[in-house]
Structure 1
Amino acid sequence: MNQQITFRPLSDGKGSSLLSASPLPDLAAAGYTDTEYAASGVARRLVGDADADAPPAEFTTRLVVRRPADAAAFNGCVVVEWLNVSSGSDAAPEYSYLAAELVRAGYAWVGVSAQYVGIEGGAGSVGVATGEPQSLAAKDPDRYAGLHHPGDAYCYDIFRSIGLAVRGDHSGETPTPDHPLAGLAVGSVLAVGESQSAMALTTYANTVAGDGDFDGFLIHSRAAAGLPAGEVGTGIDVSTVFSGEPTTIRTDLDAPVLVVQTETDVLTNFRYHLVRQPDTDRLRVWEIAGTSHADLHQIGDFEEFLGCPDPVNRGQQRFVLRAGLRHLRAWADGGDPPPSADPLRLRGVTTPEPEFEVDDIGNVLGGVRTPCVDAPTQVLSGVVPEPISRICLLFGSTHPVPEHLLAERYGTRDEYEKHYRDAADAAIAAGFVLVEDRDELIADAHPESVPE
């Protein structure tokens, strides 16, 4: 049974608490609005034992909505992100990766505080401790007073309820001034999530999805196991996932699923290699060479504060994710599926600790290819030697290729740039990079690394 969701704009206090460390598009200049809402309803326990002392519970959660101000600029697709709480508060990593495509192509984006920690506060699994965790209402009572999350036993239904609520006819025929998508005619709704949120979407897709909630799923950087069911009045301990039962994505879903994985996710304690599965007519899996679970694009100028021994990963997964979103939207609308990709190449697959096969430079073979690994000047890895902090494990590493090897490989900077352009065009032709991103991708080259 679908529950009625009511919305209330949030406009007082200190402003939105959802911040980003990476540069993002200027929404106002692009004709977008950026508004927070309180969303209220009643949720049920949908995962686990529904009778295990978890009666229906009221909630008032937070949404962040970025949408075209002009309905004519809307492309008909809403991207609903399960906000990530691994830092102990909400973050929108997938928005950071997808923002350029979202804004230029006219999507609406809705970030959902689906989990308990995002509203009530709690300890993060990564990041730096900053004192006693606080709820949003405690941090900014003028803005967030009245928000309430009944616990992660209900997180799956909260997310589902929001997905259903943003669907339908919001063309303005029925006045709904407080609806986040008032005036927009919604055609399709996609669910996206990264890391812990991808683990949640893995569980959601396998146990909840259906009945017209979402038209497609982008599951980015999942572990071998899905997120647990959750309990009343508290958050989920994500650390339990890394020893959880490996699970594949079910293959009988009506909605298509695109799984995008980095090197970190395939190995390390994410263990995704245990649940690799072949593509089907409703599933595609992309494993991207030269990438890590998080990277420089996510952290930007704050890299130095991570305290990692090496520069963090500078791979190009953002370009692949933007292409993936466009493919997923077309697929969900009845178009062709995304292209298939080889998996990253492993040796010792049947051993307890498999390893990647690498080329003469040291970059991983196989997988989705981008210019930074096919015309390399750096060794880009998603697997770093331990012991190391959890945050540095997630951010991977970047090491320069020695100049004499670059000189042997390319001879001149002009020849390097030709190799790089050819690799960029090959990635575009293969469907893993969008032609609109070519200039940005070319600007990501490093001719200065090649000796004169």
Structure 2
Amino acid sequence: MTMTVMARWRTRRRRIATTTVAALLTVTAAGVAQLATDSAAQAATPSAASPTVTGPVTGGKGVPVVGATAFDLGKVGYRQSEYFLAGSATAYQASGTLGSDGKWTVTPAATAPYTTRIVVNRPADAKKFNGTVVVEWLNVSAGYDGAPDWTAAHNQLIRDGYAWVGVSAQAVGLNATKNADPDRYQALSHPGDSYSYDIFSQTGQAVRKSAATVLGGLKPKKVLGDGESQSAFRLTTYVNAIHPLVNVYDGYLLHSRAGTASALSQAPERPDIAAPAVVRIRPDLAVPVLTFQTETDLPTGLLGYVDARQDDTNRFRLWEVAGTAHADAYTIGIGATDVGDGQGSVAAFNALRNPPTGAAGFSCAKPINAGEQQYVLQTAFSQLNRWVTTGQAPSKAPRLQIANNAYVLDANGNVKGGIRTPAVDAPVAKLSGLGQDTGSSPFCALFGTTVPFTPAQLHALYPSHDAFVAAWMKAATSAVNAGFILPADAKPLVAAAASSTVPE
């Protein structure tokens, strides 16, 4: 980075910090009154059953089986442990129609015994714990337990001192875990996914009631429910149907959900009770929900969330992020080894110029999306936590522009509207959540595409390297001021661009 550009960036950083602090301190009297009202509405004691907690689990191959980050958490001041949760889980049945408005009424049905596991990542130093626990519904779309949101957002979670809990809520993930290490997990038993909702409730209850064991003595103040992709489909059902009964979680982040939701109950263990084709978040929920969507998630014919869009309220926010895909280069590769030292940001920027076609054992026909949604997702966690702790709602976001079920594109081929990042506002590639050839794998449809600009295109946009860095910096500053990128992420984001050779 040249001295001139660096000086400008330092000046802008000071302005960003000043603006951000001022924004954080601005809570209107009406907002405080609303917070008091909402706090009273949420005052009911969480009422899920408390499972028996045993552990920490040892033996077998010596480490928890979960698709997540691969570096030693001790290097970043964290420690990992694993526990078994056992109890009796409840399935649910509908009382009346499950409507598109999400205002569902359900009642308990059958019960069945279960033993599942949770993986816990927490600060080694109790003084660094910020009081919030994120419980991620581990994703089973690949046939095993994965933690896509921990992988994508771990730098922010670690930086701010969250505890994270990943739970094997579904049978496919638990059985795959058991098969991967039979000696360690021989006690695990899952009665079927109709019982997954109560298993998720009981996990949150264990975090609250058995914190001395689960969190090593850390005292949680807030507990957030989180899930990506299929897990977000199930959390949509959970929020609408189960949360009002048990009141375990203080807020939710639903990442890349579909327009519909998962079944409330399903064969073979219970009768099928499917969700309607379009499902919105119930409007009378007493806790916040932030729904985070990529370009892949909206179009009809794919996940179809466009049909379930709803307006922002004092309890709901919808974030749609331009240039992003349901899964991407960071989540399946870079994120696993990113320890937050800036090298992950360099690798993420380089992926825009030289995008991979997949990862080990997985390849698509075209280069996959490298749209850097991880920065916005980290902000989503930060703003959701601020929402549940102070009452200050996240920034309102513009919607992605769609006409005739197709995205409206700018002159560079990137979508208009939505949350903007430097990757689309100072672009070095055409980014999309669509356009992948699915012949190599049906999962490839979720990975979108990246088409790097040619040298001629880059030189037409940026006559010099300083011009490019200045444009990238301007876009980063705009995203920070809009509340969609954290100031702590802006520095490595800009430094990565400055270390590049754009325009080649």
CA distance in 2, matches of 1:204, 1:110: 18
Q: 8 Å contact 1:75–1:105 — kept in the other structure?
A: yes
Q: 8 Å contact 1:169–1:185 — kept in the other structure?
A: no
Q: Aligned-residue CA RMSD in angstroms?
A: 2.4
Q: 8 Å contact 2:365–2:438 — kept in the other structure?
A: no
Q: 8 Å contact 1:361–1:401 — kept in the other structure?
A: no
Q: Which runs of 4+ in 1 moved over 4 A?
A: 47-54, 232-237
Residues 1:213 and 2:256 aligned together: no
Q: Which of 364, 371, 375 is equivalent to 2:426?
A: 375
2:310 aligns with 277
Aligned to 1:37, what secondary structure does the other structure show?
Answer: strand
2:54 aligns with 8
Map residues 95-174 of structure 1 onto 2, 5 A cutoff: 95-121=150-176, 136-168=177-209, 170=211
2:226 aligns with 192
Q: 8 Å contact 1:168–1:187 — kept in the other structure?
A: no
1:202 aligns with 236
Aligned to 1:89, what secondary structure does the other structure show?
Answer: coil
Specify whether residues 262 and 230 from structure 1 end up closer, same or farther in structure 2 by C-alpha distance, changes over 3 A only: same
TM-score, structure 2 length as denominator?
0.79
CA distance in 1, matches of 2:270, 2:447: 25
TM-aligned CA deviation for residue 442 of structure 1: 1.7
Residues 1:325 and 2:325 aligned together: no
Aligned AA (1:326): S
Aligned to 2:76, what secondary structure does the other structure show?
Answer: coil
Q: How many residues align?
A: 419
Q: 8 Å contact 1:164–1:212 — kept in the other structure?
A: no
Query: Bigger CA drift: 180-189 or 415-424?
Result: 180-189
1:124 aligns with none
Specify whether residues 236 and 215 from structure 1 end up closer, same or farther in structure 2 by C-alpha distance, changes over 3 A only: farther
Map residues 26-425 of structure 1 onto 2, 5 A cutoff: 26-46=72-92, 48=94, 55-121=110-176, 136-168=177-209, 170=211, 176=212, 179-210=213-244, 211-231=246-266, 245-267=277-299, 268-300=301-333, 303=359, 305-348=361-404, 354-384=405-435, 387-388=438-439, 389-425=441-477
TM-aligned CA deviation for residue 185 of structure 1: 1.2
Specify whether residues 377 and 246 from structure 1 end up closer, same or farther in structure 2 by C-alpha distance, changes over 3 A only: same
TM-aligned CA deviation for residue 156 of structure 1: 0.3
Aligned to 2:490, what secondary structure does the other structure show?
Answer: helix
Q: 8 Å contact 1:168–1:186 — kept in the other structure?
A: no
Aligned AA (2:293): Q
Name whichever structure is richer in helix by fraction. Answer: 2
Residues 1:450 and 2:499 aligned together: no
TM-aligned CA deviation for residue 300 of structure 1: 1.4
Aligned to 1:158, what secondary structure does the other structure show?
Answer: helix
Specify whether residues 363 and 444 from structure 1 end up closer, same or farther in structure 2 by C-alpha distance, changes over 3 A only: farther
Aligned AA (2:377): L
Structure 1 unaligned residues grouped into runs of 5+: 122-135, 171-175, 349-353
CA distance in 2, matches of 1:75, 1:385: 40
Aligned AA (1:260): F
TM-aligned CA deviation for residue 256 of structure 1: 0.2
CA distance in 1, matches of 2:460, 2:118: 53
CA distance in 2, matches of 1:421, 1:100: 21
CA distance in 2, matches of 1:280, 1:27: 38
Query: Bigger CA drift: 309-318 or 138-147?
Result: 138-147
